[in-house]
Amino acid sequence: MCSSRFIFSCIVVLSFITPQFANAIQCGDTISVDTTLTVNIGPCSGDGLLLQGSEVTLNLNGHSIVGSGTGSGLSFQGVRQATVQGPGTISNFATGILMGGGTGLTVIHNLSLIGNQQGVFLVHPFGEVRFFNNIVSGKNLQGVGISLAQGATTHIYQNTISGCSVAVEVGTEVAEAVIDENLVTLNQIGIWGRYPERSCFTIRGNRVTLNQGDGIRTGLNYSPSPSRNGVSSEATPVCSSGVGADIEDNTVALNGGNGIVVEAEFQTQQFVQDNFVSYNKENGIAVFGQPIVDPNWEIQTLGNSVGHNATDLFWDGVGTNTCWAQNVFVTSSPQVLPACQ
């Protein structure tokens, strides 16, 4: 307790450790100290808020950051450690959250990202990102809900993602991404790992349902390109799990395309295991093989329960490094699939 003798010193100390409150914060301002919003921000004609500094926590405290269809609602610039917490809403920006290079450990949770053209775009080469318990709702099936590119370790878990062209997209040079226990529904495409030969990712424990196209997809195309010569122009990633893409323990049902479709591009190792895949309009699990004969790279489809799809298991017959074991299914094309040794 402060005595009268030291009251001035106490005021100085308390003002130093008390978080900033947002009475004077406006669109386009930079946040460099711990901040709790007390008012709504916007509508902003451009960007919302910029996080910059050493260690910063932004608490939306039930308030909103609203845009006018352009700019970024919340962007990061070289923050060594950052936390963004809700409840709170970021809405109607070109990008809800934009994270560039140079940012360290980041935790983002309990937010609602509503009606942005792109929900979250992470280009994050140095630190670890944890994005959990958020709602990402797109606009008219346009734009990506969560896009990862050139990132370090990223955990996307226990979010609800809907209304997007692609709910979660893993791009190139992602060191390690875990997409875990999300509800992915009412999008055009659910989860898309575009480059399994250039990124490391695990898609695990998600409920992927009622999307208009494919539930889970890896690779770019559904058939080998005539221009491929079996040699990748990019360095193959070294994944801590030893697997380029691991798709496991997901429930994938009632999608308008394939439940899970996997394409091998160049050198890639992918596991599709222990998934429940049912009532999808096209194939339950479809594998488009790789023309490369290399024992270090293969696609294994193991222990899945697949039923009530147009065709439960499909393989295009390309390559020798594709195998199937211990799957429960009714229909397949071809009727005999190559077994795992």
Q: What is the pLDDT of residues 119-146, one digit of tens each?
A: 999 886 567 899 999 999 998 899 999 9
Higher-confidence residue of 241 and 260: namely 260
Q: What is the mean pLDDT of residues 166-185?
A: 93
Per-chain mean pLDDT for the chain: 86
- Give the pLDDT confidence score for residue 302 in this predicted structure: 97
Based on the fold, state whether residues 168 and 314 are members of the same structural domain.
yes
Task: Note down the domain range covering 131.
Answer: 19-137
Residue finishing a domain among 137, 153, 182:
137
Based on the fold, state whether residues 24 and 169 are members of the same structural domain.
no
For the chain, what is the domain count? 2
Taking Cα atoms as reference points, which of 312, 319, 309 lies closest to residue 334?
Answer: 312
Q: What is the mean pLDDT of residues 60-83?
A: 93
Q: Which of 138-142, 148-152, 324-328 has the lowest mean pLDDT?
A: 148-152
Based on the fold, state whether residues 76 and 212 are members of the same structural domain.
no
Is 65 inside any structural domain? yes
- Give the pLDDT confidence score for residue 33 in this predicted structure: 94
Q: Is the pLDDT of residue 208 over 70?
A: yes
Peptide bond into 226 cis (omega under 30): no
Based on the fold, state whether residues 25 and 116 are members of the same structural domain.
yes
- Give the pLDDT confidence score for residue 108 in this predicted structure: 96
Judge whether 134 and 109 are in contact, CB under 8 Å: yes
Based on the fold, state whether residues 194 and 308 are members of the same structural domain.
yes
H or E segment and range at residue 7:
helix 7-17
Based on the fold, state whether residues 265 and 188 are members of the same structural domain.
yes
Based on the fold, state whether residues 121 and 248 are members of the same structural domain.
no
- Give the pLDDT confidence score for residue 218 in this predicted structure: 93
Is 2 inside any structural domain? no
Based on the fold, state whether residues 97 and 44 are members of the same structural domain.
yes
Q: In the 8-state DSSP scheme, what is residue 23?
A: G
Is 93 inside any structural domain? yes
- Give the pLDDT confidence score for residue 173 in this predicted structure: 83
Residue finishing a domain among 137, 155, 190:
137
At residue 62 the predicted structure's pLDDT band, cuts being 50, 70 and 90, is: very high
pLDDT winner (highest mean) among 24-28, 74-78, 100-104, 161-165:
161-165
At residue 303 the predicted structure's pLDDT band, cuts being 50, 70 and 90, is: very high
Is 281 inside any structural domain? yes
Is 150 inside any structural domain? no
At residue 17 the predicted structure's pLDDT band, cuts being 50, 70 and 90, is: very low
- Give the pLDDT confidence score for residue 80 in this predicted structure: 83
Is 184 inside any structural domain? yes
pLDDT above 90 coverage of the chain, percent: 63
Based on the fold, state whether residues 249 and 118 are members of the same structural domain.
no
Is 32 inside any structural domain? yes
At residue 222 the predicted structure's pLDDT band, cuts being 50, 70 and 90, is: low
Residue finishing a domain among 120, 137, 154:
137
DSSP 58-107: EE-TT-EEEESSSSEEEEESS-SEEEEE-S-EEESSSEEEEE-TT--EEE
Higher-confidence residue of 102 and 160: namely 160
Based on the fold, state whether residues 126 and 272 are members of the same structural domain.
no
Q: Is the pLDDT of residue 18 over 60?
A: no
Q: What is the mean pLDDT of residues 272-291?
A: 93
At residue 223 the predicted structure's pLDDT band, cuts being 50, 70 and 90, is: low
Based on the fold, state whether residues 94 and 179 are members of the same structural domain.
no
Angle at 107 between CA 86 and CA 66, to 5 degrees: 40
Is 11 inside any structural domain? no
**3-state DSSP assignment of residue 10:** helix
Taking Cα atoms as reference points, which of 291, 285, 289 lies closest to residue 307?
Answer: 285
CATH number of the domain at 168, please: 2.160.20.10
At residue 78 the predicted structure's pLDDT band, cuts being 50, 70 and 90, is: confident
pLDDT above 70 coverage of the chain, percent: 84
Q: What is the mean pLDDT of residues 143-155?
A: 88
Q: What are the φ/ψ torsions at residue 10 (nearest 5 degrees)?
A: -65, -40
Higher-confidence residue of 157 and 23: namely 157
Based on the fold, state whether residues 257 and 187 are members of the same structural domain.
yes
H or E segment and range at residue 325:
strand 322-325
